Amino acid sequence: MQNGDQHYSMEDETYTDIDGKAISLECQSHSGFCREFTVSSAKVSIGRVMVYTCAVWLSAYIVFFITENTAVLSSAIIITLVGMMVHIHFVKVDHETLLIIGSLGVQVSSSYASGRESTDFIEMDKIKDIVINEAIHMQTVIYYLCILLKDPSDPEAVSSVVPLFQGKRLIK
């Protein structure tokens, strides 16, 4: 308990996403009508980074050995660096947050490994409903939470927003 909020994380139940990686869920209740849910995935593992980098540089060195062209080495370095920067800035999601404020709206925010945050706020007037929808992904059916938005020409839902990566939930 801190500062009058209720803050608890689901430590005894482990979840995995649809790719099988471990994720964790944290709920924080700021007030009677304000709740925040955070889903965090595993951080970038240093072992995998080192394995990839070594593999790329080893193959570049072999190619250099064959062709005697130094441009191969410098291009391998540049590709590795650029690839890593792009991965942590655009691809690797660190945690996603859903902030629900009663009678104001819902805020969905994803935070990437480089610290970049991309936020989207949806006003209460535009929300029709929050539902659990199902979709066919490869060979399985996955369930995901989504927000239905109102169409300006009422009252059909026009676009679905997919907030969080809650794929399969395994309770171990």
SS3 for 7?
strand
Site for other proteins, residues 14 to 33, rule: CB under 8 A: 30-33
Q: How many CA atoms lie within 13 A of 16 on its CB side?
A: 7
Which residues lie closer than 8 Å to 72 by C-beta, 6 or more apart? 60, 63, 64
- What minimum distance in Å lies between the beta carbon of 8 and other proteins? 16
CA–CA dist 38, 60 (Å, integer): 41
Least distance to other proteins, CB of residue 79, Å: 24
Site string for other proteins, 69-108 (x = CB under 8 A): ------------------------------x-xxxx--x-
Q: What's the distance, Cα to Cα, between the start and end of the chain in Å?
A: 26
Quick one: tokens of 102? 């009663």
Binding test (CB under 8 A) with other proteins, winner from 83, 109, 145, 168: 109
To other proteins, the closest distance from the beta carbon of 118 in angstroms equals 9
Write out the two tokens for 172: 């171990």
Which of 140, 160 has the CB closer to other proteins?
160
Please report, as ranges, the residues that interact with other proteins according to CB under 8 A.
3-4, 30-34, 36, 99, 101-104, 107, 109, 119-121, 123, 125-126, 151-153, 158
